[in-house]
Structure formats: C-alpha cells, structure tokens
Structure 1
Amino acid sequence: MGSPTAGMEIPGMRAMGVFAACMMVSFGAFGQSEENILHHGATPDDDAHDTAAIQAAIDAVAKGGGGTVRIPKGRFVSGGLVLKDNLRLVLDEGAVLQGSSDCNDYGGKPQWNDALVKGTNLKNVTIEGPGTIDGNDCRNPQGEEGFRGPHGILLAGCSGIVIRNLTLERTGNYAMLCRDCTGGEFENVTVRGGHDGLHAQACTRFNVHHCDFRTGDDCLAGCDNQDFRVTDCRINSSCNGFRLGCLDLLVKDCRFWGPGEFVHQVSLGRGGQGRTNMLSAFVHFAPKDRNPRLPSDRWLVADCTIDHVDFVYGFDFDKGLWQTGQPAKRLRFQNVKATRVANPIRVLGAADRSFELTLENVSIALREDRADREVLNLTRFGSLRLTNVTLQNSGRTPVLRAREGTTVWLDRVACVPENASPFALERIDETKNDP
C-alpha cells in the first residue's frame, strides 16, 4: 500500500528559498560604521544605568545610514532601548545587557509593549552574541496577571530579522516577541527561564534553527503565522512546547522533554511552589479575541522525540482554551517517538470535519500510572491515517477511540501489550484496516 501522504509538499520549503535570498540581501545592508558603547559613556560592571550611552551609540550609527553597535565584555544595566534600520547589535563574549529592575525604565507608563530592546517598522535588524541579554526578572505589579514586566526583545512590523548566537534569560515577559514581521532567522539562540521563548503574532517566513528553549511558559507561541521552519531545537517547558497557530509549519529533528527546568510563573501566583509539568508538545492556538485570519494547516512534525509530557497534541474547537478562533486542519507526524505520555492525543474538530491526522512510523507510549486510557481520542474529523504505528497503554482499554469521522485508515498498527479490542470506532463512514 502506498503512503497516503506521498507527494505532499513539505511545509515551508517553498517559502524558504525566497527567504534565503532576502537574508543574503539583508546581510549586505549594514553600513561600515561601528560604535562601541564605551565611547558614548557606558561603564561596565556597576549599577549605574547605561541606557543613554547605549541609545546614543545606536542613534550615531543610524545617523550614518546603519552599521554595528558593539557591547563589549562586562555587565551594562539599561532601561528600554530603541533600535533603528540597518542595525547590527553585537554583544561580545562575556557581555551582559542587564535590564533595569525598575519597570518604569522601559518607555514611560508600564504596559504590554515594554521591552529591553525594541524595534518598530524596521528593515534589516540583527541582534547577535555570543553575549547575554538578562531581563533581571523585572516585574510590573500593574502588568498582566499582576507581575508581567518588559519583554526581552520586541519587534513589530519589521523585516529582515536575524537573532543568532545569543542567550536570553530571566526576561520579565516573553524573551522574544514579534508582531507582523516578515523574514526572521533565529539561530543558536538559548532561552532560559522567563515566560514564552519566541512569541510570534501574524508573522511570515521564520526559520528557527539549533535553538535551545527552556522556559517557564510556552517555548514557541502565537497565531496567524505562516511558513515557519523549526529544526534541530531543544524544547523544555513548564507549559507547552508549541502553543501555535500557523499555516505551513515544519518541525524537524527536535527533542521535547519535561518536566520543565523553570517553574511556571503564573502558577506561583496561585500559591504553593508552582508547577513544572510540561503540558503539551503541541497545542492548537487561535484565540477569538485576536481575530485570527488563518487556520493551522499543513503541519509536518518529523524525526522528533517527545518524553514526559501530559499531551503530545491537543485541539478542541468547541471549548479549548484559546483554540476556537480558527480551526486546525492537516497534521502529520512522521518518524516520531513519544514516551511517558500522561494523556491521549485528543481532538474535537470542527463540524465540517476538516481536521486530518496522519501518523507514519510513530510510537506513543503512555505512562504506567496513566495507562488505563486510549492513546488516540478523536471526534469530528475528516481522516485518520496510521501507518506503521505502535500504541502502548495498559491493554485493558482500546488504544484508539474515534467518533464521527469520515475515514479511518489503519496499516500495520501494533498494540502493546496485545489488546483483544484495540479500536473503538463509532459513526465512522469508511474504515480501511490492513494487517
């Protein structure tokens, strides 16, 4: 039997050729000027604020049409900084750009758009290490949920973005927030603690490669995005790996694991020590209040491992938290191994049965203490296609429960342990079952 997905275009491949060309143009767009922040009065390794000195270096480079601003070795304390077009901000080895602990130092009245490093409607912006941006866990008592402070990096309406070889830690809100941006390259970025790692809203053509996210909140999040590639990344969270809405997504050669190494800050506000369990490797994200335009469609997750998460994937178009603005549609897992999972892949799709799930060369094993449940649970879907799949639970309940579907296609599906009644199918229009 041929693969049901043979010939399908890999998400993101079409757009990335254009994106690569854009990146080559942007790399040559910086001017020849270079400004060291020490030459503008910044002083390392003290608690004096260097905001004005760093901003002066940025403005001087911008006046000459663009160039490089260099932060040398040392710790430099700053409030909010505003980037300019054709700018390359370099943090040298041992350089730490540390955010002020006062939330009022980020652009006036504290608000959701505060950030340590901010750019709006810019072209050709690069922020690179190997130094560190340290948000200093800056909290805002008037912020969302009573504590959220400034983001690490906020870029809105920008194109030609490069963030690479950089560490971001302890940010007061998201490490990186991008809104309405086009063409983003994120390479060898390390995120530790804080909240969301990379939150993208209405962004197009992002390439995230060889990054290491270990966050208290979602690693990658946002909705209304298009043409994203996430490859060779490490994903650890006390919330979700991907809480994402995206049209055309490729996730390849990534490792997901829980529990989170950093506590979920929101749970601390509810008393106790806070939780660290990793909720989902993937969960659909399309909140109605953001008025999303795009569904999540043409997702390929390939050559990944997932361990010790509550869910591999979740989508509930009726009542799912922040999931009902646009539906999820076609999702394919290929060469994926998931171990010690607490709950089934659970889907409650749209009434038009537009959701399609394909698993090829996939194994999913439930945790021993949560094994008396199905591994897959789908309601209202167009097609479910399983090829060379191993599903492991206690053996006392079906591994698959599917209702109100158009097609269920089972090809070499193994149950561990052997199960006398492995499949519970109700109101399925067509079933194909190959041994």
Structure 2
Amino acid sequence: MIILTERATFSVTDYGAETQSEHVQTEQFQAALNACRDNNGGTVVVPAGQFHIGSIRLYSNTRLLLKSGAVIKGSENLGDYQTFGEEPGIRYLHDDYFVKAWHLPPYYFHAIIAAYDAENITIEAEAGAIIDGQDVFDPDGEESFRGPMGMVFARVNQLQLKNYTIKNTANWSHVIAGCTDVRATDVTILAGHDGFNLHHSNRIEIKNCVIKSGDDCLAGYDVANLSVHDTVLNTACNNMRIGGTNILIDRCLFTGPGEYPHRSENTFFTHAMFKWYAADADTIKADGTNIKIENSIMYDAQKLLTYDFNNKEIMQNGRPLRELSLIGNVIGKIKETSKFLGNGEPVKLRIEGCRITPPDNQPLLMIDDMVELIFDNVTFTTPTVIARKGRAEVPVSGYITREVI
C-alpha cells in the first residue's frame, strides 16, 4: 500500500514498472505521476535500470528524478505516443503553407515527456542518467520521417531542467512554448533535431549545457529575456535560429561542422551561426531588439549571419529585426558571404571588439541601404569587403577604430 504524504516520493517501481523489461512501462510511470499529482506534488523517482515508455504527462509541483544508471527509452511503437488533447500554441502547425511544405501531421507535438498549463516542474538526473528517443521513424511525420519530440512543455511557469543527457530524439529535444521562468543547467543534448525550441517563452536561462544537434541548437520566435552562457553550440544546421527581444549569448562556443548529421540532408556543415526567426504564421509581440552575442568563439560555418527580411521560405516574414550586436567575439573559418538585408525595414548591426577572419575571396557581408553597419575596434586578419546592393563595395582590413557603413 502506498501512503501519500506531503512532499512524498513516488518510485515508478512501486507502481509496477520493471527494470530491464522490453515491455512498455507507460501506464506504470503515469500511475506514479498521477499519485504525485493527487498528493499536490512530490518527487517521482526513476531508479537505475532501463525503461521503455510512450507519452507521459507531468503535473504541477512535480520533480521527475532519474537516479544514476536510469535509462528512459522512447517506445518504438508510434501508437504509444499522444498529445493528451493539448497543443503548445505554435500556430504554424495550422498554416496551410507550412503543413504542406514540411508535411506536418496534426499530432506533431507528441512527445516522450509532456506538461501543460502547470507550474513548478523539475526534470533532474544524477550522473549517467539518459533519456533516449531512439530516432523513432514516422513515415507520416514531418519530412516523412520525423517521429515524436523528446519533451513538450507548454505554458509552464517555473520549469527547471538539470543534469541529464537526452539523445537521439526523433524530432526536437525540447519544446518550451509559452513558458516563463525557465532554467536549464548542465543538460547535454546529443544528435536528434533542435536542441531547445523556445517559442513565445519569457525569462529563460541556459547555462553550462552541451548541445550537439543535427538541427538548430537554439530555436524559437517571440522569445523574450533569454540568457545563454558557458554553453557549447555544435550543429549541422544553425547554432541559433532565434527571434525576440533582450537576448544575451555570453561565453559560448559556436562550432561546426556538426558532430551529428542533419538527418534530412545527411550533411554535417553548419549553415549559419545566427539566423533570424519570425514567421507571419504566428503572433509575434515585438520587433527584435537588444540581441547580443558576446565574448564567444564563433568558428567554422558556411555563414556568420542570415537575415533576409520578408522571406517567407526561411520564416523571416513576421516582425523585423532592429538591432543585433556582436561584441568581443573571435570569429573565424566563415566560408560564404552572409546576407544581412533589411528589405525596406531599418536594422542596425554593431560589431565591436571582435577579431574576424573573413571568407576567402568573398565579401564578409552583403547589406542593403536599410542596414546601419557599425565597426568599433574590430580587427580583420585578412582584407575583405562589404558588398552593398546597388552601391560600391567598401573595403575593410586591419584594425578599425570606428567606421559606419
């Protein structure tokens, strides 16, 4: 008999889950989570051992603790996953253009672990615990192969993610949508698709994480008050594909090529280190302001930046970017010219205190007359030019104290 007490602990094995079993243990995990909910909260423990599960749902005031040696594997049976009749509020799921272009199914946001309209949720692990999505294949999923997400959190207030490894997710590792006060610390993401997707979320801190993903490391539009520090961003897509306000990336390593492949293209090269994200298929509250990448190493990508406002195909046709600053960064091994185009909307790009090795025999940037480009105490290791649409190129080389283009 299980006695429920305040701040109780609920082991999934007390509710029938068996370690090392090949049988799916979703019911047993959910029973422990439901008991925790009915007790107004507590800790649900996953002990050492291997467990296969489909979709489970966490409720308010729940801490899911994976003990050392615990391995949660996503079921390989697509029928074991569900959305619990909920949606995360990412509206392009219902946009005809993107549904057709990407082959999005209506159950797109099913996942191994989910929580909706909740508060005070923690996913935490002791050393060596792993969540493995097993790259579950879905012929009816996005791009005709992507399966369930790793985790979906929608409209959760006070979300903490700590010290686990999640790998081989069949789609995004983390959907964090419309959440507030999010902290991710010492999380490792290996392979799969996007690392952290942060659509419509506010007050997020990501620190001491390692993200080695097949798709975007950090993604999401309508993001507010995001700080990322001391984190590795390695990808076969974009290190950051982000849109929002008050975003600070500090003391991070942006690096390519990806250790794991971009699965739809089977390529490893990094596309861009920063790519703007703002789609008109969803509501975005503000233009992009106060976005800074500081004191970071940015090394080995096709492009440094991608901004081509009003380009629907790359989801940059929502609210415009107004201000991006690169400050104190070491930037090198960029292979191609970066487009940075306001296309009728003014935007400021400030590059300050950086050391830049530009592409060989190509312009560093292509800008238009809506861009105010400011160099301040910048060192170029080799000469390059700034290409300007409809105007003469501007050569830049050596040490530039200050120049406005």
TM-score when normalising by structure 2 = 0.87
Q: Specify the alignment match of 1:294 in structure 2.
A: 286
C-alpha deviation, 1:326, in angstroms: 1.3
- CA–CA distance in structure 2, aligned partners of residues 31 and 160 of structure 1: 20
C-alpha deviation, 1:366, in angstroms: 3.0
Runs (4+) of structure 1 exceeding 3 A deviation are 402-405, 413-416
Which one-letter code corresponds to 1:294 in the other structure? Answer: A
Does the alignment pair 1:309 with 2:301?
yes
Q: Cα gap change, 1:156/1:122 in structure 2, threshold over 3 Å: closer, same or farther?
A: same
Q: Specify the alignment match of 1:357 in structure 2.
A: 349
- CA–CA distance in structure 1, aligned partners of residues 169 and 132 of structure 2: 7
Q: Cα gap change, 1:36/1:400 in structure 2, threshold over 3 Å: closer, same or farther?
A: same
- CA–CA distance in structure 1, aligned partners of residues 380 and 365 of structure 2: 9
Q: Cα gap change, 1:306/1:433 in structure 2, threshold over 3 Å: closer, same or farther?
A: closer
Deviations 1:190-236 (A, max 9, x none): 00000000011111000001110000000010101110001100000
- CA–CA distance in structure 2, aligned partners of residues 335 and 403 of structure 1: 28
Unmatched runs of 5 consecutive residues or more in structure 1: 1-29, 268-273, 417-421, 423-431
Q: Specify the alignment match of 1:375 in structure 2.
A: 364
- CA–CA distance in structure 1, aligned partners of residues 187 and 345 of structure 2: 40
Does the alignment pair 1:97 with 2:80?
no
Worse-superposed segment, 192-201 or 282-291: 282-291
- CA–CA distance in structure 1, aligned partners of residues 63 and 287 of structure 2: 35
3-state SS of the aligned residue for 1:357? strand
Which one-letter code corresponds to 1:117 in the other structure? Answer: I
Q: Specify the alignment match of 1:261 in structure 2.
A: 259
Which one-letter code corresponds to 2:21 in the other structure? Answer: D
- Of the three residues 390, 394, 413, the one matched with 2:379 is 390
3-state SS of the aligned residue for 2:264? helix
Q: Specify the alignment match of 2:98 in structure 1.
A: none
- CA–CA distance in structure 2, aligned partners of residues 75 and 399 of structure 1: 56
Map 1:30-429 onto structure 2 (within 5 A). Answer: 31-107=6-82, 111-130=107-126, 131-267=129-265, 274-319=266-311, 321-353=314-346, 355-367=347-359, 371-393=360-382, 395=383, 398-402=384-388, 414-415=397-398
Which one-letter code corresponds to 2:328 in the other structure? Answer: N
Which one-letter code corresponds to 1:112 in the other structure? Answer: Y
Map 1:16-35 onto structure 2 (within 5 A). Answer: 31-35=6-10
- CA–CA distance in structure 2, aligned partners of residues 84 and 352 of structure 1: 43
Unmatched runs of 5 consecutive residues or more in structure 2: 84-104
- CA–CA distance in structure 2, aligned partners of residues 404 and 60 of structure 1: 66
C-alpha deviation, 1:352, in angstroms: 3.6
Q: Is the 8 A contact 1:389 1:414 kept in 2?
A: no
Q: Is the 8 A contact 2:116 2:155 kept in 1?
A: yes
Q: Is the 8 A contact 1:392 1:399 kept in 2?
A: no
- CA–CA distance in structure 1, aligned partners of residues 389 and 6 of structure 2: 60
C-alpha deviation, 1:402, in angstroms: 3.7
Worse-superposed segment, 109-118 or 92-101: 109-118
Q: Cα gap change, 1:392/1:343 in structure 2, threshold over 3 Å: closer, same or farther?
A: farther
Q: Is the 8 A contact 1:364 1:375 kept in 2?
A: no
3-state SS of the aligned residue for 1:325? coil
Q: Cα gap change, 1:151/1:363 in structure 2, threshold over 3 Å: closer, same or farther?
A: same
- CA–CA distance in structure 2, aligned partners of residues 58 and 190 of structure 1: 24
Q: Is the 8 A contact 1:213 1:235 kept in 2?
A: yes
Deviations 1:369-390 (A, max 9, x none): xx11111322133522111112
Worse-superposed segment, 316-325 or 255-264: 316-325
Deviations 1:71-125 (A, max 9, x none): 0111101010011110000011110111100111012898212100011100110
* Percent of aligned positions that are identical: 28
- CA–CA distance in structure 1, aligned partners of residues 310 and 54 of structure 2: 43
- Indicate the structure (1 or 2) with the bigger Cα radius of gyration: 1
Which one-letter code corresponds to 2:75 in the other structure? Answer: S
Which one-letter code corresponds to 1:124 in the other structure? Answer: N
Q: Is the 8 A contact 1:103 1:110 kept in 2?
A: no
Q: Is the 8 A contact 1:317 1:327 kept in 2?
A: yes
C-alpha deviation, 1:32, in angstroms: 1.3
Q: Is the 8 A contact 1:196 1:221 kept in 2?
A: yes
C-alpha deviation, 1:46, in angstroms: 2.1
- CA–CA distance in structure 2, aligned partners of residues 31 and 363 of structure 1: 56
Which one-letter code corresponds to 2:288 in the other structure? Answer: S
C-alpha deviation, 1:294, in angstroms: 2.4
Worse-superposed segment, 76-85 or 341-350: 341-350
Q: Cα gap change, 1:128/1:360 in structure 2, threshold over 3 Å: closer, same or farther?
A: same
TM-score when normalising by structure 1 = 0.82
C-alpha deviation, 1:345, in angstroms: 3.5
Q: Cα gap change, 1:99/1:293 in structure 2, threshold over 3 Å: closer, same or farther?
A: same
Q: Cα gap change, 1:403/1:141 in structure 2, threshold over 3 Å: closer, same or farther?
A: closer
- CA–CA distance in structure 2, aligned partners of residues 176 and 194 of structure 1: 11
Please give the root-mean-square deviation of Cα atoms over the aligned residues, in Å: 2.2
- CA–CA distance in structure 2, aligned partners of residues 325 and 318 of structure 1: 7
Deviations 1:239-262 (A, max 9, x none): 001111111100000001111011
C-alpha deviation, 1:41, in angstroms: 0.9
